[in-house]
């Protein structure tokens, strides 16, 4: 039995997500199609009644009711399709966003941010139209098929004439669907490439300006434009060609039906009213513009669904259910290995036992695997081999809420997430502690304590609105942003991971923060990725990584006797 492709399963779910609005659209569209099919027959009966001398207004009144029905169903159909598509699009965006956050960092990094934004904004809107496209697409074929049936009842020759023409038009539109699908898919793919390059360029705008390579970077970002133009032109040419074929065949089909109908009238096979009805049914059956427009919408929806189904098919990290056991941050790595996408080893068979409450500096040359070690230690992603345990519980089996309370991360270039500076610092705190302060209060006690520990409370107090300053409007230097990122991580109850998180701080500020973090009262384990000798010297132990392997775990003073260790810092043998 053939299974549905990922994009088709996604489209079916999007159709269901339209909920009652999609159901309403189906009902309304069916009512409109029924009225549309009944109207020619009623008009024919009205003509025959008038020709026969019947002055009764019955059939004209019925015709007016059908016209009003068509108007009402058209308005209600637009309303239902709009609300249904909006509802389905919102759910699809939420599903994609939640899935992206559930993936590990390595998987998400395979997609440029600009490309993901394009999928989330543009392609999700196109895919959200699936309910409308499927409902209207199925019902759009009813008027042509109903017209064939009605003409077969009036006069079989008329029905066969219309059926032959519709068969020709169907073949032409099937070719359009196949070709247009490839064109739309290519267009969306190239557009995602441009968006990804643009995001990269904007992120490195200072570097580009400093290097004076603005023109070269613009050329790089826009290099795929010829491909984009090619796919776009192809799509429009295919649509124009299909419309032209329909526009050419449809009038010929109507003329053929009218000619046959005229002959049938002359030989007495049809009444004048039946001929009027036959002409109307011919126009209704040959008017496949609505079908073509619906097919075009469905092609776009399916191509967009294919783009969204791709990241959705990536396997999310499974959440654990176990609570934390009693402890204060005993971290253990057993046989941990991490490989790059090209299967190159980043970490190999790391066995590391970090005593609870200690400070361990992670050092090594660039590319030694320091950030990878920090990432797996706090489960930003899972190792390819081995396991990581915190107080005896594997991180993969730990409840996410417990993980959030236990572990905090700070990075060298933190992104401030939240509406205000207060939100950015309180991001990792429990809801009651992170909730924005009431009027007059500068910050919650937990946020204020974290800001003071990170030596950033004075910086925040000088901002235009203090802790209430919007993050996008906060004029922060690199070091100040690092301190806010560090304050955000200080909620950690058992393990604090600093991935070069103080690299932009001046020596005096770093020393004060380090004293706070490494004091016995800190009550948690600290894993500090660093390039500075002073930080390594102040740690209880140093984990020395060399080409993805743990070369040594020992106090800094003991390692300093090794010239290879001194060379990691570019040292000359003098403790700094």
**Residue 331: phi, psi to the nearest 5?**
-105, 130
Task: Count CB-CB contacts under 10 A for residue 493.
Answer: 16
131 pLDDT band (50/70/90 cuts)? confident
- Same domain, yes or no: 52 and 123: yes
Per the structure, the count of domains in the chain is 2
**In residues, how long is the chain?**
576
Q: Is residue 467 part of a domain?
A: yes
Cβ burial, residue 458 (10 Å; 0-12/13-18/19+): exposed
Rounded to the nearest angstrom, the gap between the alpha carbon of residue 376 and the centroid of all alpha carbons in its chain is: 25
Q: Is residue 573 part of a domain?
A: no
Among 312, 340, 367, which residue terminates a domain?
312
Q: Is residue 325 part of a domain?
A: no
Cβ burial, residue 323 (10 Å; 0-12/13-18/19+): exposed
288 pLDDT band (50/70/90 cuts)? low
- SS3 for 482? helix
Q: Is the pLDDT of residue 146 over 80?
A: yes
Q: Is residue 52 part of a domain?
A: yes
Q: Supply the DSSP string of 90-106, one letter for each residue.
A: HHHHHHHHHHHHHS-HH
Closest CA to 425 of 402, 407, 443, 438: 443
Structure tokens at 441: 């209060």
Dmax (CA) for the chain in angstroms is: 118
433 pLDDT band (50/70/90 cuts)? low
**Domain ranges, residue 512:** 331-568
Of 35-39, 237-241, 330-334, the range with the lowest mean pLDDT is 237-241
Q: Is the pLDDT of residue 539 over 60?
A: yes
Residue-wise pLDDT for 69-99, tens only, equals 999 998 998 899 889 989 999 999 999 999 9
- Same domain, yes or no: 280 and 209: yes
Q: Give pLDDT, residue 5.
A: 65
Among 312, 339, 356, which residue terminates a domain?
312
Q: Give pLDDT, residue 60.
A: 86
Q: Is the pLDDT of residue 516 over 80?
A: no
- Same domain, yes or no: 297 and 344: no
Of 551 and 276, more confident? 551
CATH number of the structural domain spanning residue 492: 3.40.50.300
- Same domain, yes or no: 262 and 140: yes
- Same domain, yes or no: 161 and 302: yes
Q: Is residue 359 part of a domain?
A: yes
Task: Count CB-CB contacts under 10 A for residue 144.
Answer: 23
Q: Is residue 380 part of a domain?
A: yes
Give the contacts of 422 (CB within 8 A, at least 6 positions apart): 436, 437, 443, 444, 447, 467, 468
Q: Is residue 238 part of a domain?
A: yes
Q: Mean pLDDT score of the chain, rounded to an integer?
A: 83
Which H or E element spans position 346? strand 345-354
Cβ burial, residue 173 (10 Å; 0-12/13-18/19+): middle
Residue-wise pLDDT for 412-432, tens only, equals 888 888 888 888 888 877 765
Choose from 2-11, 148-157, 503-512, 556-565 the range with maximum mean pLDDT: 556-565
Which H or E element spans position 550? strand 549-554
Q: Give pLDDT, residue 389.
A: 93
Choose from 61-65, 110-114, 170-174, 498-502 the range with maximum mean pLDDT: 61-65
- Same domain, yes or no: 60 and 114: yes
Q: Is residue 287 part of a domain?
A: yes
- Same domain, yes or no: 239 and 376: no
Residue-wise pLDDT for 302-317, tens only, equals 888 888 888 888 888 8
What percent of the chain has a predicted confidence (pLDDT) above 90?
17
Q: Give pLDDT, residue 289.
A: 62
- Same domain, yes or no: 344 and 483: yes
CATH number of the structural domain spanning residue 146: 1.20.1560.10
Cα dihedral value 340, 482, 329, 393, nearest 10? -40
Report the distance separating Cα 365 and Cα 370, nearest Å: 9
Residue-wise pLDDT for 157-215, tens only, equals 887 877 877 777 777 666 776 777 778 888 888 888 888 888 778 777 778 887 888 88
- Same domain, yes or no: 403 and 474: yes
| C-alpha dist (Å) from residue 133 to 84, 240, 298 | 11, 20, 5
């Amino acid at each position: 039995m053939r299974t549905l492709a990922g994009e088709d399963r996604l489209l079916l779910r999007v159709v269901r997500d339209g909920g009652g609005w999609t159901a309403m659209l189906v009902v309304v569209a069916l009512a409109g199609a029924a009225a549309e099919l009944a109207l020619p027959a009623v008009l024919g009966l009205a003509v025959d009644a008038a020709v026969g001398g019947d002055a009764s207004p019955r059939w004209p009144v019925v015709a007016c009711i059908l016209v009003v029905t068509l108007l009402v169903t058209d308005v209600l159909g637009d309303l239902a399709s709009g609300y249904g598509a909006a509802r389905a699009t919102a759910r699809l965006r939420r599903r994609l966003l939640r899935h992206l956050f559930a993936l590990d960092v390595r998987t998400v990094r395979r997609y440029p941010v600009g490309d993901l934004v394009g999928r989330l904004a543009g392609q999700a809107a196109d895919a959200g139209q699936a309910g409308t496209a499927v409902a209207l697409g199925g019902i759009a074929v009813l008027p042509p098929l109903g017209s064939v049936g009605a003409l077969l009842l009036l006069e079989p020759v008329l029905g066969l004439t219309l059926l032959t023409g519709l068969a020709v038009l169907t073949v032409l539109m099937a070719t359009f669907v196949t070709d247009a699908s490839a064109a739309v898919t290519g267009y969306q793919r190239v557009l995602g490439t441009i968006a990804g390059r643009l995001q990269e360029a904007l992120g490195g705008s200072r570097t580009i300006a400093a290097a004076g390579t603005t023109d070269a970077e613009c050329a790089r970002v826009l290099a795929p434009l010829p491909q984009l133009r090619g796919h776009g032109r192809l799509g429009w040419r295919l649509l124009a060609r299909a419309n032209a074929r329909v526009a050419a065949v449809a009038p010929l089909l109507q003329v053929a039906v009218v000619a046959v109908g005229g002959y049938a009238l002359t030989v007495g096979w049809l009444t004048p009213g039946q001929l009027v009805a036959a002409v109307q049914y011919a126009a209704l059956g040959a008017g496949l513009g609505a079908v073509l427009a619906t097919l075009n919408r469905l092609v776009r929806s399916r191509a967009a669904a294919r783009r969204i189904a791709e990241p959705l098919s990536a396997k999310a990290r499974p959440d654990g259910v176990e609570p934390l056991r009693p402890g204060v941050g005993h971290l253990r790595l057993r046989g941990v290995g991490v490989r790059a996408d090209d299967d190159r080893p980043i970490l190999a068979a790391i066995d590391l036992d970090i005593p609870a409450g200690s400070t361990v500096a992670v050092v090594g040359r660039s590319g030694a695997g320091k950030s990878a070690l920090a990432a797996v230690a706090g489960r930003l992603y899972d190792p390819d081999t081995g396991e990581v345990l915190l107080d005896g519980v594997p991180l993969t089996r730990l409840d996410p809420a417990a993980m959030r309370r236990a572990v905090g991360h700070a990075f060298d270039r933190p992104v401030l997430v939240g509406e205000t500076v207060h939100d950015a610092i309180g991001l990792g705190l429990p809801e009651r502690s992170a909730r924005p302060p009431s009027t007059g209060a500068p910050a919650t006690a937990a946020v204020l304590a974290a800001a003071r520990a990170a030596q950033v409370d004075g910086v925040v107090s000088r901002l235009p609105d203090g802790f209430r300053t919007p993050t996008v409007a906060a004029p922060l230097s690199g070091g100040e942003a690092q301190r806010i990122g560090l304050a955000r991580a200080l909620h950690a109850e058992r393990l604090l991971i600093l991935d070069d998180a103080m690299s932009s701080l001046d020596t005096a500020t770093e020393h004060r923060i380090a004293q706070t973090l490494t004091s016995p009262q800190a009550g948690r384990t600290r894993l500090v990725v660093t390039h500075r000798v002073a930080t390594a010297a102040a740690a209880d132990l140093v984990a020395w990584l060399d080409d993805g392997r743990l070369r040594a775990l020992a106090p800094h003073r003991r390692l300093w006797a090794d010239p290879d260790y001194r060379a990691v810092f570019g040292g000359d043998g003098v403790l700094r």
